[in-house]
Amino acid sequence: MTVAPAPATTPEALPAIKHDYLPILLPVALSALALPFVGNPTTWVTLTVAALAMGMMIFVIASGLTLVFGLMDVLNFGHGAFIAVGAYLALSVLGLLSGWVQVDSLGWNLMALGLAVTVAMIGTGLLGWAFERVIVRPVYGQHLKQILITMGGLIVAEQLIHVIWGGDQKAMALPTALRGAVVIGDVAIEKFRILAVVVGLVVFAAMLVVLNRTRIGLLIRAGVENAEMVEALGYRIRRLFVGVFAVGSALAGLGGVMWALYRETLTAAIGGDIMVLVFIVIIIGGLGSVGGCFIGAILVAMMANYTAFLLPKVALASNILLMVAILMWRPQGLYPVAKR
């Protein structure tokens, strides 16, 4: 997809491209700030790794939502349903593959997990596609109805999970080889957290490649800025949107599997709990910005983990304060998306 070679440019009179690195420093600053309060460096490392793992999961869930909003101005309150459905689908698959899960072999464990994730992502992707058709499409451009309808969709989905899988709390056991921790010096890092960070980084990298290096990605970024102009150039933004919606739902499904494994328990309300953080993340990041979403997710997870340790009662409230502070600094979020 290269155009003709980039012509030689004359050095003088070119404007400086302003890269905005300030937000990237925020997580670093926050973790540094937390160190003296936490006191013990070992604890601090444990908390920070936990925060990174949690941040990656939140990012995986939130990235699709923020793009869906950026592209079509659709705010999907039902996103939490995909988290739960993904987790339950994986629960069923892992239940069927209990042999592969319980054997102490990383290979078999990852196979089982990979299969579970695949089923979960395909299932939630399809569900997202149907959700877009049935629930969202009739209310394009009507924010009020969108919020109400998608919220209604969430309730129905959660109740159907009750009907299908039962309402009781389920245990979501980690595969054997992923239990426990890796000890480095006197710091113990849980294996699953490392896996979560890796998965999150892979998703982020893949997303950056797609958004920056493929035509589809360029169209998505262009559409987030000005959907109308993308149509005027001859592209069907609706089709693009349905695709992004389905992929975003599949990612929520992936995030749901990870989140359930992380907590090792599962109820139909699992989506609702984390969605509050997801909303804070996409507001902090700037609605429609994937980069902002990534930094926002790490910030929120850090805040949640440090305060859970320091002042457990105010964990969520501290994130509200974080959001307030950031919105006072940048009212449109860390990376405001240029709109129209």
State the minimum distance, in angstroms, from the CB of residue 269 to other proteins: 9
Nearer to other proteins, 40 or 226 (CB): 226
CA angle (180, 186, 189) in 5-degree steps: 30
Residue 325 binds other proteins, judged by CB under 8 A: no
Residue 167 binds other proteins, judged by CB under 8 A: yes
State the minimum distance, in angstroms, from the CB of residue 164 to other proteins: 9
Contact 250, 125 (CB under 8 A): yes
State the minimum distance, in angstroms, from the CB of residue 102 to other proteins: 30
Residue 21 binds other proteins, judged by CB under 8 A: no
Angstrom distance (rounded) from CA 30 to CA 300: 10
- What is the size of the binding site for other proteins (CB under 8 A)? 74
Angstrom distance (rounded) from CA 162 to CA 174: 23
State the minimum distance, in angstroms, from the CB of residue 236 to other proteins: 5
Nearer to other proteins, 24 or 222 (CB): 222
> Is residue 170 helix, strand or coil?
strand
Nearer to other proteins, 121 or 295 (CB): 295
Residue 153 binds other proteins, judged by CB under 8 A: yes
Angstrom distance (rounded) from CA 193 to CA 191: 5
Out of 61, 67, 280, 293, point to the residue binding other proteins (CB under 8 A): 280
Neighbours of 124 (CB within 10 A): 30
Residue 144 binds other proteins, judged by CB under 8 A: yes
Out of 130, 202, 205, 317, point to the residue binding other proteins (CB under 8 A): 317
Distances in whole angstroms, Cα of residue 56 to Cα of each of 81, 121, 150, 168, 235 = 19, 17, 25, 28, 32
State the minimum distance, in angstroms, from the CB of residue 243 to other proteins: 15
State the minimum distance, in angstroms, from the CB of residue 56 to other proteins: 21
Of 4-12, 31-39, 117-125, 200-208, which part binds other proteins (CB under 8 A)?
4-12
Q: Which residues, 88 to 127, sit near other proteins by CB under 8 A? A: none
Contact 190, 181 (CB under 8 A): yes
> Is residue 271 helix, strand or coil?
helix
Q: Which residues, 39 to 78, sit near other proteins by CB under 8 A? A: 75, 77
Of 118-126, 189-197, 246-254, 271-279, which part binds other proteins (CB under 8 A)?
271-279
Out of 22, 96, 106, 156, point to the residue binding other proteins (CB under 8 A): 156
> What is the residue-wise DSSP string for 171-225?
E-PPPGGGSSEEEETTEEEEHHHHHHHHHHHHHHHHHHHHHHHSHHHHHHHHHHH
Contacts of 286 (CB under 8 A, 6+ apart): 292, 330, 332, 333, 334, 335, 336, 337
Out of 15, 36, 99, 141, point to the residue binding other proteins (CB under 8 A): 15
Out of 2, 36, 183, 184, point to the residue binding other proteins (CB under 8 A): 2
Q: Which residues, 192 to 251, sit near other proteins by CB under 8 A? A: 215, 218-219, 221-222, 224-226, 228-237
> Is residue 273 helix, strand or coil?
helix
